[in-house]
Amino acid sequence: MPEPSVRFLGVSKSFGRAEVLRGIDLDVHSGECVGLAGVNGAGKTTLIKCLLDFCDLDSGAIEIHGTTHRRPRARARLAFLPERFTAPYFLTGREFIAMMLRLFECRYEEERVRAMFAALDLEVAALDKPVRAYSKGMTQKLGLAACFLSQRDLYVLDEPMSGLDPQARDRARDLLLNLKSEGRTLLFTSHSLADVEEVCDRVTVLHAGTMAYAGSPGGLRERYGETSLERAFLKCIEAHA
Ligand SMILES: Nc1ncnc2c1ncn2[C@@H]1O[C@H](COP(=O)(O)OP(=O)(O)O)[C@@H](O)[C@H]1O
Ligand SMILES: [Mg+2]
The SS3 call for residue 102 is helix
Cα 204 from Cα 237, distance rounded (Å): 12
pLDDT surpasses 70 at 124: yes
Contact 124, 114 (CB under 8 A): yes
Ligand 1: residue whose CA is nearest its atom 13: 41
Ligand 1: residue whose CA is nearest its atom 4: 15
What confidence score (pLDDT) does residue 26 get? 97
Average pLDDT over residues 37-41: 93
1-77+156-241 has which CATH code? 3.40.50.300
Q: CATH 3.40.50.300 residue ranges in the chain?
A: 1-77+156-241
Contact 34, 204 (CB under 8 A): yes
Cα 74 from Cα 3, distance rounded (Å): 14
Looking at all shown ligands, the one closest to residue 162's CA atom is: 2
pLDDT surpasses 80 at 2: no
pTM for this one?
0.96
pLDDT digits (tens, 9 = 90+) for 184-219: 999 999 978 888 899 999 999 999 999 999 999 999
Where does the pLDDT of residue 1 fall: very low under 50, low under 70, confident under 90, or very high at 90 and above?
low
Contact 40 CB / ligand 1 (< 6 Å): yes
Contact 37 CB / ligand 1 (< 6 Å): no
Cα 211 from Cα 218, distance rounded (Å): 17
Alpha helical stretches, state H, the chain: 44-51, 93-103, 110-119, 136-148, 166-181, 193-199, 217-223, 229-239
In degrees, rounded to 5, the angle at the alpha carbon of residue 86 between the alpha carbons of residues 85 and 89 is 175
